[in-house]
């Protein structure tokens, strides 16, 4: 079999989660011996009759121009991810024109099939760097954490991540008398959504809830941290907590498990491919329309309504009572947290980017075989 060559069109230069995944997939394919050229526009030679030149398109399905790319590439494969039960309507006219779709989780496969996607779908999971995220990493230096049970959370400050649910559960469950701390590493989505802006949003929400008493402390970090500092947040934590409404994968969950820190998370989403009761504390939920709580009194972050508020879409609304119960149970059982953390390390050892590259290589070969 001749060496597999593919062209990759994706956001390899971005700092976002999608950008990280794009870079990691390219590198993983190359480690599998695949020749990968980045940038579809670099090709000027038309595809000869019956010729094959695979293109992996790692952008949203609605942004592709098949008329421009079909003369140069065959097959054209979409690599994508989604966070609700159905994909956006504007994707649908294009998505069945691809020769195949690569997605990172079973939840994504169900969402695409429920949305009417007929072309072949291949699950190509994300990976995690177990040498970068490991329990031996130096903890982030935070004097306030000394002698306290530390919950940590890493997420973008948006409605899908449910920051208000996390804050409300923490404030209601723990008081200033409890030896506990919540550390939130987050970011906004514009220059104005900086650390102070996020802190102001949180303070306003606390006031809106009518909480006047002194509560258990929270540390909010909304500025850039080095890779080693971010890795140190995970090892600082006794438990990682995020009552997310929807994830295609949930990379921070993987990074937390690799660091030996158990996860408290909503029991629905792409992360359920690797979270279990043995490595996590799972929160009960109900599937609801995403628009149900956007704009309500508990909405404190960007909604991205244009993506997540279509009719027919659903995601998971974490039960606050269940979230409080799981946080309190973790707090009361630190040795159980350590046990689940050790199990998490074992569970993610096989979840390498090498495995991801091998799965993607197999998928491309299968698509070529079908053509």
Four-point Cα dihedral 283, 288, 289, 294, nearest 10: -60
Span 99-105, mean pLDDT?
97
What is the rounded average pLDDT of the residues 301-310?
90
Judged against a pLDDT cut of 90, whether residue 311 lies above it is answered with no
What confidence category does residue 44 fall into, taking pLDDT thresholds of 50, 70 and 90? low
Mean pLDDT of 52-68: 93
Q: Sorting pLDDT into bands at 50, 70 and 90, what band is 295?
A: confident
* CA 91/CA 329 separation, integer angstroms: 42
> Which of these ranges, 207-216, 243-252, 278-287, has the smallest mean pLDDT?
207-216
- Grouping H, G, I as helix, E, B as strand and the rest as coil, residue 220 is strand
For residues 21-40, give the mean pLDDT: 93
Q: Summarize pLDDT for 64-96 with one digit per residue, the tens.
A: 999 999 999 999 999 999 999 999 988 988 999
Beta-carbon contacts of residue 306 (< 8 Å; ≥ 6 apart): none
Q: Predicted confidence band at 2 (pLDDT cuts at 50, 70, 90)? A: low
Mean pLDDT within 275-284: 98
Q: What is the pLDDT of residue 366?
A: 95
What's the pLDDT band for 1 if we cut at 50, 70, 90?
Answer: very low
pLDDT at 323: 98
> CB under 8 Å to 347, separation ≥6 — which residues?
257, 274, 276, 278, 279
Residue 356 pLDDT > 70, yes or no? yes
Could you give the C-alpha distances from 360 to 64, 94, 102, 355, in angstroms and in order? 21, 22, 8, 9
What pLDDT does 371 receive? 58
| Separation of alpha carbons 357 and 363, rounded Å | 10
- Residue 47: pLDDT band (50, 70, 90) is confident
- pTM value is 0.94
CA distance 283 to 275: 12
Instruction: Name the band, by pLDDT with cuts 50, 70 and 90, for residue 213.
Output: confident
pLDDT tens digit sequence for 126-161: 999 999 999 999 999 999 999 999 999 999 999 999
Q: Is the dihedral of CA 137, 140, 143, 146 positive or negative?
A: negative
Contact of 194 with 218, CB cutoff 8 Å: no
Give percent above pLDDT 90 in the chain: 84
- Where residue 43 falls among pLDDT bands split at 50, 70, 90? low
Q: Which of 170, 171, 334 is nearest to 241 (CA)?
A: 170
Q: Can you tell me which residue has the tokens 């102001």?
A: 200
């Amino acid at each position: 079999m001749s060496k597999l060559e593919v062209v990759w069109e994706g956001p390899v230069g971005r700092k976002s989660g999608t950008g990280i995944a794009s870079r990691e997939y390219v590198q993983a394919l190359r480690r599998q011996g695949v020749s990968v050229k980045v940038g579809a526009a670099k090709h000027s030679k038309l595809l000869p009759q019956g010729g094959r030149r695979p293109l992996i398109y790692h952008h949203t399905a609605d942004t592709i121009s098949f008329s421009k790319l079909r003369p140069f590439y065959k097959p054209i494969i979409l690599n994508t991810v989604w966070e609700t039960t159905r994909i956006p309507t504007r994707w649908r006219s294009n998505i069945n024109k691809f020769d195949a779709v690569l997605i990172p989780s079973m939840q994504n496969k169900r969402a695409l099939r429920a949305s009417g996607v007929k072309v072949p779908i291949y699950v190509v999971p994300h990976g995690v760097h177990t040498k970068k995220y490991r329990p031996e990493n130096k903890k982030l230096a935070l004097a306030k954490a000394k002698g306290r049970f530390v919950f940590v959370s890493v997420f973008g400050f948006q409605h899908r991540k449910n920051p208000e649910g996390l804050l409300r559960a923490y404030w209601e469950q723990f008081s200033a008398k409890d030896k506990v701390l919540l550390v939130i590493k987050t970011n906004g989505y514009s220059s104005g959504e900086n650390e102070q802006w996020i802190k102001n949003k949180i303070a306003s929400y606390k006031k809106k809830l009518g909480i006047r008493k002194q509560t258990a402390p929270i540390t909010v970090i909304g500025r850039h941290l080095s890779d080693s500092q971010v890795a140190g947040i995970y090892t600082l934590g006794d438990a990682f907590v995020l009552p997310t409404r929807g994830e295609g994968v949930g990379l921070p969950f993987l990074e937390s498990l690799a660091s030996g820190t158990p996860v408290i998370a909503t029991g629905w989403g792409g992360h359920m491919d690797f979270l279990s009761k043995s490595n996590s504390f799972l929160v009960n939920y109900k599937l609801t329309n995403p628009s149900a709580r956007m704009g309500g009194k508990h909405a404190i972050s960007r909604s991205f309504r244009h993506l997540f508020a279509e009719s027919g879409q659903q995601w998971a609304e974490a039960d606050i009572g269940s979230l409080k119960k799981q946080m309190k149970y973790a707090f009361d059982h630190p040795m159980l947290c350590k046990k689940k953390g050790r199990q998490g390390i074992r569970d993610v050892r096989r979840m390498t980017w090498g495995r991801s590259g091998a799965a993607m290589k197999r998928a491309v070969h299968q698509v070529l075989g079908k053509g």
